[in-house]
Amino acid sequence: MDASKVKYIVIHCADTPPELDIGAAEIDRWHKQNGWDGIGYHYVIRRSGVIESGRPLDINAAPGWQTVTGAHVAGMNSQAIGICLVGGRHGKPDFSGQQRESLWLLVETLKRIAPEAEVVGHRDLDKGKTCPGFDVRAWWANRGQHGAG
């Protein structure tokens, strides 16, 4: 994916209860059970704050490197990077402090690579969604205050 084509960094949630700590492998399995090719997100942030890779993403990939378009926001996947926070059951932003810090660091890093990309929640691009349960645009606009939700 060419960094100049990245229009969105999209934040999602897994819609899982607080006691369920899953990662990219479990989401990959769930998505395959739905008949999809596999995990739709490029990154998953576990409850512990550990950032796991989902679909391969290599901005400005050299020939021979694999980059796979995400499958996380209808009609915009070719221009979006998807990040999934574990948790957020029923639209409640119950993310851990470690997750909030990791989200901040990951988005900050991705913005250095794709500075023109807008940081949004899934709900900002799909009016039928409530994910991730907080106003991502406001969170990023107030980036002097770390945290999600």
Point out the catalytic residue in the list 7, 92, 111, 129: 129
Point out the catalytic residue in the list 31, 41, 43, 72: 41
pLDDT 10s digits, 94-144: 999 999 999 999 999 999 988 999 999 999 998 888 999 999 999 999 874
Domain ranges of the chain: 3-141
41 is catalytic: yes
pLDDT at 75: 74
pTM for the full predicted model: 0.87
122 is catalytic: yes
Task: List all residues 6 or more positions away from 8 whose beta carbon is below 8 Å from its beta carbon.
Answer: 73, 76, 79, 80, 81, 117, 118, 119, 120, 125
CATH class of 3-141: alpha beta
What amino acid is encoded at 69 in this protein? T
Point out the catalytic residue in the list 8, 12, 31, 84: 12
131 is catalytic: yes
pLDDT at 38: 84
Point out the catalytic residue in the list 8, 42, 84, 131: 131
pLDDT 10s digits, 42-89: 999 999 999 999 888 765 555 554 556 665 776 776 888 999 999 999
pLDDT at 3: 67
Task: List all residues 6 or more positions away from 108 whose beta carbon is below 8 Å from its beta carbon.
Answer: none
